[in-house]
Structure 1
């Protein structure tokens, strides 16, 4: 079904995420793509097309036709470069579009790169401004992402008996994993006491429950699976990849059927990706995952929406250590958005690159033993869109 198994990743590159004041958007793109080309042992002239995931270049001071930010520094003229934007699902959606073109036989070797420059704009000029000024002329005013996901946490606690200890478990886990990742924005562990005493952002979410906005870029090189061995003997296969749109911008919470404890977009994207990949029991078949932890409660809900836990039991995976390195199903071994940060256009590609590394056994201190199949997941809109990719060893 679809492109499952027809496209493989032969190279990846991820730059250091953080406050990269020393780099422009094009600098970051150049570095990520150069790393990916080096990993694939390819000259840039072999690339036949490219897709750029860049969520909001105008908001952060860059031109709308941002495909040129790939062509210019890498001298990729005249190949087509297409910009993709899908809220926080932008990165994986860029990879999906690139993979579709390869699977269709249009190209043999293509690039998917994601980049976002977010730290040089104050919060009132960036995501906060969007949340307040866009959408419904009345209902949109004053809303923020922490506020919406705080409602999710409050309802989830009431429905399933969880509490802030579950949020703390996710935060501590992801900060620990981030301490092992030299490319993460935050590379320090936190204690339960620090989590408890952190200032509240939107009750019950505190400072350590929220991911930071960040500068960063990541890239992957794709080819048809039948061609991959001609380039390298170390590659991963895209078994399934899907994208779902289930609501309008910021409209998830206005759906009268929404119970504030799950996201239909993730469920639909996961269902499609699993069908393409032939996955019938994700909790057993998936060995490592990178999922969208914009807030700690989101990661818990993701476990359930992705089929890694039953409804209402996701928090038990966190408190029981199941999703920590050494557990039965490690999640966000990179540190997740919580420690890596969330440069929106690049997060999904960074996740795919992390899973690619796991499958190749080169994740260093983050390595999961026996990682033969992995998952990457984005959620955005907030909650309106989702993308899921399932990768495996050949």
Structure 2
């Protein structure tokens, strides 16, 4: 399948990101204004008038491009609203990047937002259209909880070792989040606390699951050849892949819940475009979709960071800790930020952007050159997946 480099290389020259938490006093529009103001405010001399087109990603916090146009008081600008499950923020970035690469626009903005805390429902309150009755009716924790026992059975991992690996993911990401002022949960947790947290589904306890939060993020993109007109530290989009699964994993007997095939293919596309042949050694840091702790374990293999059946061991050995050869979720991930659907994918890119510019403070990865952002939505066996490789050099 063809997945070619874009006609023009693309650079991110500015980003903004609100804290992710309970924003009871803010609307979705307020959060978008905050993220956009931080983004635009970091580029001297640039105003909203200089931006040719806008994208806004949200699952349920607004309809049409007016979700962004109204709070920003945009006049005469094209604004497109996009949605793609939990990869909605990534979809906003992807479409904005294509618009610049095509030559249609010189400067564009990608935004994402979600307000999940203003209802009586704690979680994702999406309303799905009628289907043919064959959809699996389960909660997200229930679906993703199947990854752990499937992985154990396939690779002969003991229950104790698997539990220790899941616990290590939670402990690691919360420790990273404690260093990040934008994170919702800024307290490190012990292994004992994780393992004694109330059960939600299968082996998953409360601290194996991402939280519920509000947030927004924004990015300004231009063609790579124009990037240094705006900043001396642009971040270049080196490769990008996106796959929408057919759902066949839940419709046949062949799917074993130890992989996300959509992620594998999206990563292949991104790596091919970026010229990455050994991601385990070439990627400096990665932001991945740790919606649940077993998801991160499986993703380490799907992204080529660990050999099949070995990720649990690499996690326990500290391969993905801050200060290691390949730190994962340096900002705290979904575990520390929660998951406002439309903003998460851009929040991941924001951390890559911050790290590649050397601005991450106490969690800074030394000499970071290539970063990966991986975002997925849906459920095991039927998901959408986005992977981007970003670099500090063109």
Give the TM-score normalised by structure 1: 0.94
From 137, 143, 162, the counterpart of 2:133 = 137
Equivalent residues of 1:9, 1:222 under 8 A apart: yes
**Paired position in structure 2 for 1:103:** 101
Alpha-carbon RMSD across the aligned residues, in angstroms, is 1.7
Equivalent residues of 2:109, 2:221 under 8 A apart: yes
From 77, 87, 90, the counterpart of 1:89 = 87
Superposition deviation, residue 200 in structure 1: 0.7
CA 1:385–1:138 in structure 2 vs 1: closer, same or farther (change >3 Å)? closer
**Secondary structure of 1:118 counterpart:** coil
Equivalent residues of 1:253, 1:260 under 8 A apart: no
Q: Distance in 1 between matches of 2:125 and 2:233?
A: 42
**Paired position in structure 1 for 2:338:** 341
**Paired position in structure 2 for 1:253:** 250
Q: Distance in 2 between matches of 1:288 and 1:320?
A: 17
**Paired position in structure 2 for 1:159:** 154
* Aligned 1:183-332 pairs, distance under 5 A: 183-248=182-247, 252-332=249-329
**Paired position in structure 2 for 1:168:** 167
Q: Quick check: 1:51 aligned with 2:55?
A: yes
Superposition deviation, residue 346 in structure 1: 0.5
Equivalent residues of 1:134, 1:140 under 8 A apart: no
Q: Distance in 1 between matches of 2:26 and 2:359?
A: 27
**Paired position in structure 2 for 1:382:** 379
CA 1:130–1:315 in structure 2 vs 1: closer, same or farther (change >3 Å)? farther
Unaligned segments of structure 2, at least 5 residues: none
Superposition deviation, residue 253 in structure 1: 2.9
Superposition deviation, residue 272 in structure 1: 0.6
Superposition deviation, residue 130 in structure 1: 5.2
**Once the two structures are superposed, what CA deviation does each residue of 1:44-98 show, in whole Å capped at 9, x if it has no partner?**
11110011111223xxxx4x22x11211222222111111101011111111110
**Secondary structure of 2:297 counterpart:** helix
**Secondary structure of 1:163 counterpart:** helix
**Paired position in structure 1 for 2:117:** 119
Give the TM-score normalised by structure 2: 0.94
Equivalent residues of 1:4, 1:238 under 8 A apart: no
From 369, 372, 382, the counterpart of 1:372 = 369
Q: Distance in 2 between matches of 1:310 and 1:153?
A: 17
Q: Distance in 2 between matches of 1:264 and 1:244?
A: 9
Unaligned segments of structure 1, at least 5 residues: none
Q: Distance in 2 between matches of 1:369 and 1:14?
A: 23
Superposition deviation, residue 2 in structure 1: 2.0
**Secondary structure of 1:127 counterpart:** coil
Superposition deviation, residue 134 in structure 1: 6.0
**Secondary structure of 1:259 counterpart:** coil
Q: Distance in 2 between matches of 1:138 and 1:269?
A: 26
